[in-house]
Amino acid sequence: MATVRPFSTPPPANLVKRIALAAVGLAILAIALSSCVTRVDAGHVGIKVKLAGDERGVDKSPTVQGWVFFNPLTEQIILFPTSVQNIVWTKDPHESNARDSSITFSSQEGVNINADVGLSFHIEPSLAPKLYGRFRKSDLMDLANGYVRNAMRESFNMQASQMPVQEIYGAGKGKLVENVAQRMQEQLGKDGFVIDQLTINGALRLPENVANAINRAMEATQQAIQAENRVRQVRAEAEQAVTQAEGQAKAARARAQGEADAKLITAKAEARSNLILKYSMTPSVLQYRALERWNGRLPVMNGGGAMPMLTFDASKLGKGGDDDEKKLLELLGQEEEMERKEAERAKDEKDGKADAAKAPDGAAPPAPAAPAEQPKK
């Protein structure tokens, strides 16, 4: 007879017990490990706080980003933000806080000035443990609305009290903001704050009477500037008219001088021509000219009668001796000398212009030729 055996035998009871214990141990280990590790995201640092032992308190060195292992029984990891934080203290309840959080400060005259202020800042990662250890807060907005805002109000009052209200309301607003940002950095930098940007949003708010007085003063200043510009324009037009009149007067004097010089040159030329004619008109020349122009016919008088030929006594005109001939030759020589000097002067001017065109930049042009000497009378 055949024997029937079971397909499988049940495992021993001790093996099942061991597997159950291993599963429970793994679960306990997983829970323990999950409580001993945390992740520090970008834009944060992990601050390790020791809860027991002789070194209780905040660890001075921040942990790195990423996964961090710690002992949950004796240590705690605080996530502290280091990214840029933006906050606005404004009078408008719809923009920031539900209440008026604008900043008020006083000028050199004691005038109260109200402004909406915006601030951008971040925390230096290496100083984050020190900041947390001092205030025990990881909420930067809470710190900004308390500690940072008080420091900013003090800086605004310190800097604005050294400036007149008209300067703050005008071109000095940028200087005020720059000085306040610098003072805040000096004051808060030791705690790890880095001031990225400080701004005054919108226009400054002044008492109505002060604002009206400043506006009137600025309007008067603008009118004075416009009046000064008109005076400058009138002065420039007057100077232009004077310059134009002086130019016209100089041109008129130059034309008159040119006309006078032309007349003088013409008169001198005519005088020399007359002298040449005077010394060249000897009796023999006159007789020759008369014979040269006679056509061989006797003049005819009215009535048909013949008029005797007109004659003149050449002896009474002068003999035309050696002195006249010498003077004539002297005058002719002077004319030739003047023409030669004039030709030389024109040639020198032409050569001088050519040399100036060929000369390199910065080289001195050749000296102009001396003017030709006038002949002596």
| Tens-place pLDDT, residues 196-233 | 999 999 888 888 888 777 777 777 777 888 888 888 88
Contacts of 56 (CB under 8 A, 6+ apart): 50
- Burial code (b: 16+ CB inside 10 Å, e: under 16) for 55-89 equals eeebbeebbebeebebeeeebebbbbbbeebebbb
pLDDT at 199: 94
Phi, psi angle pair for 195, to nearest 5°: -80, 115
pLDDT at 62: 67
Torsion of CA 236, 237, 243, 247, to 10 degrees: 150
Share of the chain above pLDDT 70, in %: 66
Q: What pLDDT is attached to residue 16? A: 64
Q: Strand pairing of 57-58 and 66-69? A: unpaired
Residue 35 to residues 15, 21, 32, 72, Cα–Cα distance (Å): 31, 21, 5, 7
Contact between 151 and 103 under an 8 Å Cβ cutoff? The reply is no
85, β-bridge pairs: 121
The half-sphere exposure of 20 on its side-chain side, counting CA atoms within 13 A, is 5
Q: What is d(CA 9, CA 35) in angstroms, rounded to the nearest whole number?
A: 42
> If you average pLDDT over every residue of the chain, what do you get?
77
- What is the pLDDT at residue 112? 92
Q: How far is CA 321 from CA 20, 52, 181, 327, in A?
A: 167, 149, 112, 10
Residue by residue, DSSP assigns 168-209 as HHTTTHHHHHHHHHHHHHHHHGGGTEEEEEEEEEEEEE--HH
Quote the pLDDT of residue 122.
94
CB 88 within 8 A of CB 95: yes
Which pLDDT score, from 0 to 100, does residue 282 have? 67
- Distance, in Å, from the CA atom of 57 to the CA atom of 133, rounded to the nearest integer, reads 8
How would you classify the pairing of strands 57-58 and 44-50? antiparallel
pLDDT at 377: 46
Token reading at 108:
């050199």
Q: What value, to the nearest 5°, has the Cα angle with vertex 53 and ends 49 and 59? A: 30
Report the chain (377 residues): mean pLDDT per 10 consecutive residues.
52 66 62 63 79 65 67 73 91 74 91 93 90 86 92 94 89 92 94 94 87 76 82 86 85 84 76 69 68 69 53 54 67 76 84 74 55 50
Question: Which tens digits make up the pLDDT trace of 94-113?
Answer: 776 668 889 999 999 889 99
pLDDT confidence of residue 295: 73
Radius of gyration of the chain (CA): 58
Residue with tokens 């390790």: 48
Instruction: Tell whether the torsion through CA atoms of 134, 137, 139 and 143 is positive or negative.
Output: negative
Q: Using an 8 Å Cβ cutoff, are 116 and 198 in contact?
A: no
